[in-house]
Amino acid sequence: MTGFAANPIPAHPSQESVRQLAKAPRMRRGQQRSQPHGLSLRINRAIFASFAATVPAPTGGSARRVRHGRLVTGPGADKANGILLWIHGGSFITGSPRLEQLLAAGYANTARIPAFLPRYRRSPDHPFPAAADDVLAAYRGLLDQGFPAGKIRVGALSAGGALTVGLLTDLRSTGLPLPAAVLLTSPMVQLSTELAHARDARHPDPYCSPDYIERTNRVFAGATPLSDPRLDHLNTDTTGWPPVLIQIGGTECLLDEVGALGTRIRHQGGHCEVQVWPGQVHAFPMMGARISLPEADAAIDYGARFIATAR
């Protein structure tokens, strides 16, 4: 449970958010034309890689490549306090640990813990279960390094959210201990995208295309049916899960599937807080590293305190 009561969500989006929202349709149009293979995939990966190359280490801290990923430490970070395992996004086909190292550090700093961002094999080159197996291996690796499960927090962005829900399912099935807390930012949950398509028909997402999400989800699943227990996240057993915080933008087509996951967790006896941020687009906390976005700063601050109070 969170140990603080302050609600950080504003009643209305900031002026900077309104300006960013006006630019969002360009992103959606680009997604609608994009394909998870061939030249389109190569261009997307090159764009993400160029962005990642400009992401600095956290102020007063460090970021370095380690075996199987990146280790990011903010000011005063100490492994004795635990660690944040951060699963990056990128629709399963792009993205990288370096691209999200500042975001992960922002969530980890209040707890004074380092963040480990594992590399995982991406689709379509390596379809399921490659990425899921890599994330499970990363968690096992932290246990093997001596981190008690009660000092491991797991965080994720976008497609990393689906991998995180899958990780919790895998931990249950393998008998491994669960982490202390889970933070999901704009997570993809229902890989079939039925709820995303239905919501988009009623309230069009200005930023993300459900068609694009469905295409990338399908190449991630590969030959595995989406009804497989490791992929059917909305029907997974959440009994005994640690506290979960979900932060999502109010314009996202993923809202209904996120709400369904939160309801399932609570109905099965767990704690899940779902924060819906008005006027925000997919993965809005990432914008805090590039522009002055009050909602991004506030969301990261709240999430960081959630991480810090997890026991």
3-state secondary structure of 64: strand
Which run of H or of E encompasses 152? Answer: strand 152-157
Which run of H or of E encompasses 72? Answer: strand 69-73
Q: Which amino acid is at 193?
A: T
Q: Which of 143, 118, 137, 104 is nearest to 68 (CA)?
A: 118
Asked if residues 67 and 36 have their Cβ atoms less than 8 Å apart, the reply is no
Residues with a catalytic annotation lie at 158, 252, 282
Q: Which of 252, 247, 253 is nearest to 297 (CA)?
A: 247
Q: How deeply is 202 buried, as exposed, middle or buried, from its count of CB atoms within 10 A (0-12, 13-18, 19+)?
A: exposed
Between CA 183 and CA 244 the distance in angstroms is 6
Q: Which of 208, 173, 231 is nearest to 284 (CA)?
A: 208
3-state secondary structure of 274: strand
Q: Which of 71, 273, 85 is nearest to 179 (CA)?
A: 85
